[in-house]
Amino acid sequence: MHHIDTIILIGRPAAGKSEVIDFFKRKTSQELAEQFHMGPFEEMDDFPFVWECFEIDDIQTKYGKPRLFTDEDYYWNDDYVWTLLLERLNLEFEKKLARDTDFFKENTLVIEFSRGGKTGFRDAFNTLSDKILERAAVVYIKVPYEESVRKNRRRFKPELADSILHHSLPDDKMEFYYKENDWDELTEGKMDGHIEVKGHKLPFSVLDNMPEVTDTDEKLGPALSETMKRLYTRVQEK
C-alpha cells in the first residue's frame, strides 16, 4: 500500500476536523503523498444529512405534519437517528464504489463525523459497514470539552449555518450530546494503535490540538504530518 485509501476523521464538534480537510485541499497531489501518505482525496461528511433532517422537519411543520427526526427545538426525537446518519454514509460509500470501482487505486476518501456519549464512538464504529472498516484508518483530533465549546462558539456565522466550516451548536446541545466522550476508553488513552471492531483491526492515530495547532498552516503542517506518519505505520502493521 502506497497510500491510506480511507481515513475516518473524528473528534468533538469544532475540534479541528474541517480545518484539517481545508488544509488538505490546499495541498498538491505530490504533497499529499509525500507528507501525509494520501492520494488525491474526496470527503464524505454526515453534517449535510443532519441539516437535511432539520430542513425536512421544518417542511413537515409548515404543512401541519408531524416532525420526523427532531422536536421543535431541534433535539433528536430518537437516538436511532445517529444510526441513520451513519447508514447514509454507508450507502454513499457503496454508491461511490459502484460508480468508480478503481477509485481507491490512487485516491483517498476522508469520512468525517462527530459523536458523544458514553458509547458514541463505539456505537458509530459498529454501525459502519464492513466494506469501510476493512479499508479504514482513524485520525482522532483531541481537544477537551471546554475547548470544543470555545471553538464551537468562535466559528459560528449565522448566515452560513448550513456550511461545513461555520455551522455551530448552541451550548445546551453541546452539553447534552457531546460533554461525555468514550474515545479514551476505546483506546486506553494511547496516541496510536489499533481498535478491534467487528473482527476488523482498525488503525488509529491522535492529533493533539492542545495547544491549538489547527489555527495556522505553520503549526498544523508538521503536527499533521507526524500524526499521519504514525497512522501509516499502524496501517502497515494491520
Band of residue 163 on the pLDDT scale cut at 50, 70, 90 = very low
Question: How many Å apart are CA 225 and CA 230, to the nearest integer?
Answer: 9
Helix (H) / strand (E) element for 131: namely helix 130-133
The stretch 48-71 carries a mean pLDDT of 96
What 156-159 contacts at long range (C-beta under 8 Å, 24+ apart), as own/partner pairs, is none
Q: Model-level pTM greater than 0.85? A: yes
Question: How many Å apart are CA 186 and CA 163, to the nearest integer?
Answer: 30
pLDDT at 170: 86
In this predicted structure, the answer to whether residue 47 has a pLDDT above a threshold of 60 is yes
Band of residue 107 on the pLDDT scale cut at 50, 70, 90 = very high
